């Protein structure tokens, strides 16, 4: 109850402030309309044409100085030589005192209303409405013709009306800013909802095109495996693990562990990433021939394209560095696409790899194992052995484990599936590799997907678009 009372007390001052602003605005508009009505006679028709005029002042108001056509031209047109235009517009036009302007140097009588060219401006210019014959303001009138009936509108009154309208718009914006903001947000959300299906369809088409591109591209795979040889073991030092690679038309980028470095022509980008341009030929283990140890290291690797980066270039990860289970969570459909793409990559480079599929407990969508892999209905898990000594509980630095078999879990593993996963893929198990699109306890790698078709790989600090 106290929260509702507080909100009510906060709302009342805002309402009172809005009411006060509206009252001030109404008073200002009323004053402007009264001023405008006092200036215009009752017979002024709303459809008549407005003209600009000059009201000849009384000399008593100007310090005894008489107005002339030249002084009027200078004050309203900025040019005394244009006094002839004013004479042409008013020649022979009878004024209300019976007089008329008959010569350019004729004296002007106080109270005369003289027509001005339409580009006249200044504080002495007024607006008048011609209620007589049409066209009389532009054609020289005949001598002795009676002046058309006019009324004048001071520019100050016109400016006041325009100011009041502007103030009304500003006040309405201040008073209704919350409603305007709410309306604007609703419109934006509606536009996004209407456009989201089209954007998702477009992204899905792009992801499918990436999948077809991966299936036809063998050159990037060859270049990726060739790059591993440059970091293989030598007589002087052990192998430098390459956790990921990016292959493009201008060169190769590798992700190394933080302490590791690479020799020229490799250059460091940001600590763990190293870049070699395509123009610089890679050197196999610093000029030496590849030996059996290096070839064995390359053969143990299992490079798969996890997706494309923001530049639409493929990025490889080495599943032999997984050392256990990969858990892909987030959007179930996209997580399933991640696992399907990894299976397709393995089928192209390691055909006939055995695969077994387990169903989780959360109803995740099933998958079809690619034809290049050998699906097993069930695998008898051996009794787990004690993990190797010296490793303790620290598993952040994964050891290399060749991909000899795959366990795929469709969804979050239940108790039974978790036990099989641990027996086949866990420490001391059969040495298989687990791929789970769902949450899995004890997973060494964890990737996260979103509905837009992207996967985040935290250990490599990258976000990729997933093929579909």
- 324-374 pLDDT, tens digit per residue, is 999 999 999 999 999 999 999 999 999 999 999 999 888 788 889 999 999
Query: Exposed, middle or buried, 104 (CB in 10 Å: 0-12/13-18/19+)?
Result: middle
Which of the four pLDDT bands, split at 50, 70 and 90, describes residue 143?
very low
Pick from 337, 335, 376, 336: which is nearest to 353 by CA? 376
Q: What pLDDT was estimated at residue 156?
A: 63
Which of 16-25, 43-52, 452-461 ranks highest by mean pLDDT? 452-461
Which of the four pLDDT bands, split at 50, 70 and 90, describes residue 273?
very high
Inter-residue contact 407 to 421 (CB < 8 Å)? yes
pLDDT digits (tens, 9 = 90+) for 85-111: 999 999 998 888 888 999 998 999 999
Question: Is it the case that residue 436 has pLDDT exceeding 90?
Answer: yes
Distance of CA 254 to the CA centre of its chain: 31
Of 18-27, 286-295, 450-459, give the lowest mean pLDDT range: 286-295
Which of the four pLDDT bands, split at 50, 70 and 90, describes residue 154?
low
Q: What pLDDT was estimated at residue 41?
A: 40
Which of the four pLDDT bands, split at 50, 70 and 90, describes residue 288?
very low
Higher pLDDT among residues 321 and 29, named by residue: 321
- Cα–Cα distance for residue pair 38/137, rounded to 1 Å: 24
| Exposure of 319 in the CB half-sphere (CA atoms within 13 A) | 27
Residue 231 sits at the vertex; the CA angle it makes with 230 and 236, to the nearest 5 degrees, is 105
Of 73-82, 172-181, 248-257, give the lowest mean pLDDT range: 172-181
Segment 51-71 mean pLDDT: 89
Q: What pLDDT was estimated at residue 379?
A: 80
DSSP 8-state assignment for residue 419 = H
- Cα–Cα distance for residue pair 461/447, rounded to 1 Å: 11
Higher pLDDT among residues 319 and 179, named by residue: 319
Per-residue HEC secondary structure of 337-395 comes to: HHHHHHHHHHHHHCCCCEEEEEECCCCCCCCCCCCCCEECCCCCCCCCCCCCCCCCCCC
pLDDT digits (tens, 9 = 90+) for 198-236: 888 898 999 999 999 999 999 999 999 999 888 888 787
Give the global pTM. Answer: 0.57
Is the dihedral angle over the CA atoms 274, 279, 284, 285 positive or is it negative?
A: negative
The chain-wide mean pLDDT, for the chain, equals 79
- Cα–Cα distance for residue pair 319/272, rounded to 1 Å: 18
Inter-residue contact 113 to 150 (CB < 8 Å)? yes
**CB atoms < 10 A from the CB of 121, how many?**
14
């Amino acid at each position: 109850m106290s929260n509702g009372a507080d909100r009510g007390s906060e709302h009342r001052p805002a309402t009172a402030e809005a009411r006060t602003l509206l009252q001030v605005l109404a008073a200002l508009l009323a004053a402007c309309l009264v001023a405008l009505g006092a200036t215009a006679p009752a017979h002024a028709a709303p459809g008549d044409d407005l003209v600009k005029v000059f009201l000849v002042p009384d000399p008593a108001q100007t310090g005894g100085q008489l107005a002339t056509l030249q002084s009027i031209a200078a004050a309203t047109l900025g040019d005394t030589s244009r006094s002839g235009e004013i004479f042409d517009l008013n020649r022979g036009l009878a004024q209300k005192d019976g007089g008329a302007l008959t010569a350019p140097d004729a004296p002007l009588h106080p109270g005369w209303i003289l027509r001005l060219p339409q580009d006249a401006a200044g504080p002495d210019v007024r607006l008048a409405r011609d209620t007589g014959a049409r066209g009389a303001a532009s054609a020289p009138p005949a001598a002795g013709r009676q002046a058309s009936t006019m009324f004048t509108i001071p520019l100050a009154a016109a400016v006041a009306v325009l100011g009041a309208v502007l103030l009304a718009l500003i006040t309405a914006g201040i008073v209704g800013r919350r409603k305007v903001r709410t309306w604007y947000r609703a419109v934006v959300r509606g536009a996004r909802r209407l456009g989201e299906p089209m954007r998702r369809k477009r992204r899905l088409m792009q992801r499918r095109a990436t999948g077809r591109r991966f299936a036809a591209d063998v050159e990037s795979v060859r270049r990726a495996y060739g790059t591993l040889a440059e970091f293989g073991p030598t007589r002087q030092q052990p192998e430098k693990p390459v956790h990921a690679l990016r292959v493009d038309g201008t060169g190769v980028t590798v992700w190394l562990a933080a302490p590791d470095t690479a020799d020229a022509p490799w250059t460091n980008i940001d600590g763990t990433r190293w870049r070699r341009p395509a123009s610089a030929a890679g050197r196999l283990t610093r000029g030496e021939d590849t030996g059996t140890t290096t070839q064995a290291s390359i053969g143990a690797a299992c490079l798969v394209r996890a997706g494309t980066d923001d530049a639409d270039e493929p990025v490889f990860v080495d599943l032999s560095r997984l050392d256990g289970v990969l858990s892909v969570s987030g959007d179930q459909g996209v997580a399933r696409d991640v696992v399907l793409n990894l299976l397709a990559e393995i089928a192209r480079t390691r055909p006939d790899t055995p695969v077994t599929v387990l169903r989780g407990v959360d109803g995740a969508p099933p998958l079809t194992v690619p034809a290049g892999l050998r699906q097993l209905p069930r695998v008898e898990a051996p009794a787990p052995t004690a993990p190797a000594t010296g490793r303790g509980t620290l598993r952040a630095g994964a050891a290399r484990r060749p991909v000899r078999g795959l366990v795929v879990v469709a969804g979050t593993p239940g108790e039974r599936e978790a036990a099989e996963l641990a027996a086949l893929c866990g420490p001391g198990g059969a040495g298989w590799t687990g791929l789970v699109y769902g949450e899995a306890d004890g997973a060494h790698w964890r990737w996260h997907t979103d509905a837009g078709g992207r996967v985040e790989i935290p250990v490599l600090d990258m976000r990729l678009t997933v093929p579909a």
